[in-house]
């Protein structure tokens, strides 16, 4: 059977090689569409049984064009780019690869933070992370890796996640927080790791951001949709000490960069998971999951049940 890997943002070549080997060892054929448009994906998918994507949009149009499709694996964590209802309506199993790129994203979070507080390495006097407070908004795979690295910097780490038991956080040396307002009020740095869902979209707003203590920093390596962008602009205007750092540029990034050049920092392109290691981990996991599903219906990480 044919398995399409359609990635607007390509995996590292070494990961593509590994994916190819897994697919061929499973008795299938790799079809590779890198840096393509949605039309390119639609053309290539007509006779494919499996699809591997990253943040690429997989919607009704794609499912309608894929009569033989049985499984889609999002090589990564967030699957907000995939229309799950349409997948189910078309009888397609959708899976993600939880945790496989989490360390890469977490390392970038800390890197962005250091870049900001050392004034983008311009030689002027910055600040340090040692002894500072970090609040983690959602303690999933990325949040846990951020906590692990932040503890290495000597930060005091706390986290809010209604799905994670206090004992789990405590065993990690993290203080559990049960109230969202407290998380923002009591931490100089807050790092967002919530997925973009109907409940979380635009949920981080001026009211929350304004709770940050003096010189507070909000870091977003999750999704731009979770921030209420208008409200973010208002918060940055009202609180001239607050800073915002993101690997997921808001739509109003250019305006914010012009107005607050010292207080906002955005990577040019979302690149949290863009490392060879993460590409290999997530890419190979995705390839193995597609092959396993096509073999015997394996669906451990199915997200459209
Ligand atoms: C994820 O959800 O796994 C991350 O946001 C990485 O996304 P990417 O594959 O588009 O880099």
Instruction: Enter the tokens of residue 255.
Output: 């305006």
Per-residue confidence (pLDDT) for residue 305, from 0 to 100:
85
- In this structure, the number of other CB atoms found within 10 A of the CB of residue 48 comes to 23
Domain ranges in the chain? 2-100+275-296, 102-266
| Residue 56 alpha carbon to ligand 1 centre in Å | 10
Ligand 1 atom with the smallest distance to the CA of 78 is 2
| Residue 215 alpha carbon to ligand 1 centre in Å | 29
Q: What is the mean pLDDT of the chain?
A: 98
| Residue 78 alpha carbon to ligand 1 centre in Å | 6
**Order of all β-strands in the sheet with 217-220:** 175-177, 156-160, 133-137, 189-192, 217-220, 243-246, 264-266
The helix or strand, by DSSP H or E, that contains position 15, with its residue range, turns out to be: helix 13-25
Nearest CA to ligand 1 atom 6: 273
**Is residue 177 pLDDT above 90, yes or no?**
yes
What CA–CA distance (Å, rounded) separates 230 from 240? 16
Per-residue confidence (pLDDT) for residue 289, from 0 to 100:
98
- Mutation test residue for ligand 1: of 195, 196, 270, the one with most atoms within 8 Å of CB: 270
Reported CATH class of domain 2-100+275-296 = alpha beta
- Mutation test residue for ligand 1: of 7, 15, 19, 55, the one with most atoms within 8 Å of CB: 55
Q: Are 240 and 262 in contact (CB under 8 A)?
A: no
Q: Are 62 and 45 in contact (CB under 8 A)?
A: yes
Instruction: Enter the tokens of residue 101.
Output: 């790129």
Per-residue confidence (pLDDT) for residue 18, from 0 to 100:
98
pLDDT digits (tens, 9 = 90+) for 231-285: 999 999 999 999 999 999 999 999 999 999 999 999 999 999 999 999 999 999 9
pTM, full prediction: 0.97
Q: Do the domains at 2-100+275-296 and 102-266 have one common CATH topology?
A: yes
Kindly list the protein residues whose Cβ atom lies closer than 6 A to any atom of ligand 1.
Answer: 9, 54-55, 76-78, 101, 270, 272-274
Ligand 1 atom with the smallest distance to the CA of 271 is 11
Per-residue confidence (pLDDT) for residue 102, from 0 to 100:
98
Ligand 1 atom with the smallest distance to the CA of 101 is 3
**Is residue 215 pLDDT above 90, yes or no?**
yes
Nearest to 3 by CA among 52, 64, 62: 52
Contacts of 237 (CB under 8 A, 6+ apart): 259
| Residue 273 alpha carbon to ligand 1 centre in Å | 6
Domain 102-266 has CATH 3.40.50.720: yes
DSSP annotation string for 175-237: EEE--HHHHHHT-SEEEE-----TTTTT-B-HHHHTTSPTT-EEEE-S-GGGB-HHHHHHHHH
pLDDT above 70 coverage of the chain, percent? 100
pLDDT digits (tens, 9 = 90+) for 122-157: 999 999 999 999 999 999 999 999 999 999 999 999
Characterize the bridge pairing of strands 175-177 and 2-7.
Answer: unpaired
| Residue 124 alpha carbon to ligand 1 centre in Å | 33
What CA–CA distance (Å, rounded) separates 46 from 69? 8
- In this structure, the number of other CB atoms found within 10 A of the CB of residue 28 comes to 20
| Residue 54 alpha carbon to ligand 1 centre in Å | 6
């Amino acid at each position: 059977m044919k398995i399409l890997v359609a990635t607007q943002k390509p995996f590292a070549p070494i990961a593509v090689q590994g994916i190819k080997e897994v697919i061929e060892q499973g008795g299938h054929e790799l079809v590779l569409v890198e840096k393509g448009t949605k039309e390119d994906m639609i053309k290539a998918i007509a006779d494919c049984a499996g699809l591997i994507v990253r943040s690429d949009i997989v919607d009704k149009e794609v499912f309608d064009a894929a009569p033989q499709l049985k499984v889609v694996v999002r090589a990564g964590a967030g699957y907000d780019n995939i229309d799950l209802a349409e997948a189910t309506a078309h009888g397609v199993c959708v899976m993600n690869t939880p945790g496989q790129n989490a360390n890469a994203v977490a390392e970038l979070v800390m890197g962005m933070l250091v870049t900001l507080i050392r004034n983008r390495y311009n030689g002027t006097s910055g600040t340090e992370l040692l002894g500072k407070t970090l609040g983690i908004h959602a303690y999933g795979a990325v949040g846990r890796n951020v906590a692990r690295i932040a503890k290495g910097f000597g930060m005091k780490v706390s986290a809010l996640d209604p799905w994670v038991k206090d004992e789990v956080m405590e065993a990690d040396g993290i203080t559990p927080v049960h109230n969202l307002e407290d998380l923002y009020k009591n931490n100089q740095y807050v790092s967002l790791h919530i997925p973009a869902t109907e409940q979380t979209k635009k949920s981080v707003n001026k009211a929350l951001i304004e709770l940050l203590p003096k010189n507070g920093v909000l870091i977003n390596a999750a999704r731009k949709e979770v921030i209420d962008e208008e409200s973010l602009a208002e918060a940055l205007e009202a609180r001239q000490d607050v800073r915002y750092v993101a690997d997921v540029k808001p739509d109003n990034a250019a305006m914010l960069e012009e107005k607050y050049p010292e207080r906002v920092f955005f990577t040019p392109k979302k690149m949290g998971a863009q490392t060879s290691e993460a590409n290999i981990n997530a890419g190979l996991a995705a390839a193995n999951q597609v092959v396993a599903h096509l073999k015997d219906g394996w669906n451990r990480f199915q997200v459209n049940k």
